């Protein structure tokens, strides 16, 4: 597919925004990467200085510039503080796209994105993980605790395992619950995203159970692929366009809602209209308007909360950047959690600061990512919570990294998983 047929903005289209930067430095006070590195080129102001040079033809997209462009989580924290109202996230994505034409996107990112693009490869990953979970649950208790110490694990493997620690056990297994009402006539498509579909189905199971219990019939098209957020962030616009078009083609026009549970997946739909061919632009606009996060969908409805079931736990909540800043959803998950009887809700410090995962950032910049995750984990631990909730599959990876580094076993759940757990207690 030719990029010429799509409407996305190139770096030159952002020239005016880049010039608007007054160099006031306010972005420094909120940028997690700047806080971790102290490097001027890691914050939006520094990147705009570099990009100014590129736009004026004084600098070229060499490896050094590409490396500096890597240093952004796309968290949009700077946008909230910028008096000139500049969105570094969009500009940096456009700059990465131009840079990728010269420097490529790198082997590791290329490998990860190739896997996200293939449902066959993701299916194989699911088989491996399901087998691991089966074997693990079968032998749990028989494996000597110090077995892990026998093997000297290289740092790379330790880092990788820490990222996915929280995904290794399935919290909610699908159970058919007794529906409370006649099925609603609302036509819902559920987009579970690739992590919930292929890595750990717990959140997907919980979403289906909670919606069914509350009388909503849900469809999941068989051929949904990854939402494409990692491809867009890496500047691989060709892959992003292909994924966006495939997902749009799976959905009928007469759908009422497209429900997403993952903050990252939900946030990227707003970019679909600019990245698809002309004939799909109207459909993309229509479907983007119908996309809604599960927390918002449930908070706006009369949700069943059983009177005789409770979860006696201390809970804290981490705000995903892609939910709070991109979709303006932050009160809704708290509203849901506070409705559950027995829950002692505790706000953590800086609940809306990025978790440090940011897609492939945690793999390409492991040390900076760990420093950011570590601070987040400490804020979670300080609340003395039994459980930390979040609404993003990517944030689960960042929180898992930080908590594992701090030897904490606090579980990480989606608010909907707790609702499903409550319903299961209710039906016992």
> Which residues sit at the interface with ligand SF4, rule CB under 6 A?
21-27, 30-33, 43-45, 48, 72-78, 81-84, 86, 88-89
Cβ-based nearer residue to ligand SF4, 216 or 361: 361
Q: Least CB distance from residue 91 to ligand SF4, whole Å? A: 10
Whole-angstrom CA distances from 166 to 151, 161, 199, 411 are 21, 9, 11, 7
What is the C-alpha separation between 302 and 414, in angstroms, rounded?
20
Q: Detail the DSSP E strand segments found in 318-363.
A: 344-345
What is the C-alpha separation between 320 and 81, in angstroms, rounded?
18
Q: Least CB distance from residue 356 to ligand SF4, whole Å? A: 10
Q: Which of the 8 DSSP states describes residue 140?
A: T
What is the C-alpha separation between 232 and 39, in angstroms, rounded?
25
Q: Least CB distance from residue 357 to ligand SF4, whole Å? A: 12
Cβ-based nearer residue to ligand SF4, 199 or 372: 372
- Angle at Cα 6 formed by Cα 2 and Cα 7, nearest 5°? 150
- Angle at Cα 14 formed by Cα 8 and Cα 19, nearest 5°? 175
Question: Would you list the DSSP string of 356-393?
Answer: S-TTTHHHHSHHHHHHHHHHHHHHHHHTT-SEEE-S-H
Cβ-based nearer residue to ligand SF4, 25 or 123: 25
Collapsing DSSP to helix, strand or coil, 285 comes out as: helix
Q: Least CB distance from residue 71 to ligand SF4, whole Å? A: 8
Cβ-based nearer residue to ligand SF4, 214 or 365: 365
Q: Least CB distance from residue 321 to ligand SF4, whole Å? A: 8
Q: Least CB distance from residue 48 to ligand SF4, whole Å? A: 6
Cβ-based nearer residue to ligand SF4, 53 or 183: 53
Cβ-based nearer residue to ligand SF4, 23 or 314: 23
What is the C-alpha separation between 59 and 145, in angstroms, rounded?
55
Q: Least CB distance from residue 96 to ligand SF4, whole Å? A: 12
Q: Which strand (E) or helix (H) includes residue 291?
A: strand 291-293
Residues forming a β-bridge with 188? 218, 257
Burial 332-360 (b: 16+ CB within 10 A, else e): bbbebbeebeebebeebeebbbbbbbbbb
Cβ-based nearer residue to ligand SF4, 49 or 115: 49
Q: Least CB distance from residue 361 to ligand SF4, whole Å? A: 9
Cβ-based nearer residue to ligand SF4, 33 or 206: 33
The distance of Cα 285 from the centroid of its chain, to the nearest Å, equals 22
Q: Least CB distance from residue 254 to ligand SF4, whole Å? A: 37
Cβ-based nearer residue to ligand SF4, 86 or 381: 86
**How many residues does the structure list for the chain?**
428
């Amino acid at each position: 597919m030719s990029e010429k047929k799509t409407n996305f903005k190139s770096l030159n289209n952002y020239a005016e925004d880049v010039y608007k930067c007054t160099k006031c430095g306010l972005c420094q006070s909120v940028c997690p990467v700047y806080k971790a590195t102290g490097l001027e080129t890691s914050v939006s102001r520094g990147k705009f200085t570099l990009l100014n040079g590129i736009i004026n033809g004084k600098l070229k997209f060499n490896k050094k510039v590409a490396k500096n462009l890597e240093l952004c989580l796309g968290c949009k924290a700077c946008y909230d503080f910028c008096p000139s109202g500049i969105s570094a996230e969009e500009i940096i994505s456009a700059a990465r796209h131009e840079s990728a034409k010269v420097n490529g996107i790198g082997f590791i990112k290329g490998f990860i994105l190739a896997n996200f693009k293939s449902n066959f490869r993701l299916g194989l990953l699911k088989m491996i993980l399901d087998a691991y979970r089966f074997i693990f649950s079968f032998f749990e208790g028989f494996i000597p605790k110090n077995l892990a110490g026998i093997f000297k694990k290289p740092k790379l493997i330790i880092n990788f395992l820490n990222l996915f620690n929280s995904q290794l056990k399935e919290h909610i297994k699908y159970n058919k619950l007794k529906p409370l009402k006649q099925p609603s006539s609302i036509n819902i498509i559920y987009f579970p995203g690739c992590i919930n579909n292929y890595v750990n189905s717990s959140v997907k199971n919980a979403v289906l159970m909670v919606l069914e219990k509350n009388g909503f019939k849900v469809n999941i098209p068989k051929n949904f692929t990854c939402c494409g957020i990692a491809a867009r962030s890496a500047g691989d616009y060709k892959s992003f366009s292909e994924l966006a078009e495939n997902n749009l083609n799976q959905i009928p026009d007469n759908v009422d809602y497209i429900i997403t549970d993952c903050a990252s997946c939900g946030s990227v739909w707003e970019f679909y209209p600019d990245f698809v061919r002309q004939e799909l632009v109207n459909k993309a606009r229509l479907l983007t308007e119908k996309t809604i996060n599960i927390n918002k969908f449930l908070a706006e409805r009369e949700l069943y909360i059983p009177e005789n079931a409770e979860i006696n736990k201390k809970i804290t909540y981490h705000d995903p950047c892609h939910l709070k800043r991109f979709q303006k959803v932050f009160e809704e998950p708290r509203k849901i959690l506070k409705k559950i009887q027995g829950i002692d809700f505790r706000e953590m410090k800086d609940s809306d600061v990025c978790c440090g995962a940011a897609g492939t950032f945690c793999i390409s910049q492991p040390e900076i990512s760990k420093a950011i995750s570590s601070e987040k984990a400490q804020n979670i631990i300080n609340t003395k919570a039994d459980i930390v909730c979040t609404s993003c599959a990517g944030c689960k990876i960042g929180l898992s990294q930080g908590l594992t580094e701090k030897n904490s076993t606090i579980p990480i759940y989606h608010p909907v998983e707790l609702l499903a757990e409550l319903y299961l207690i209710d039906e016992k």
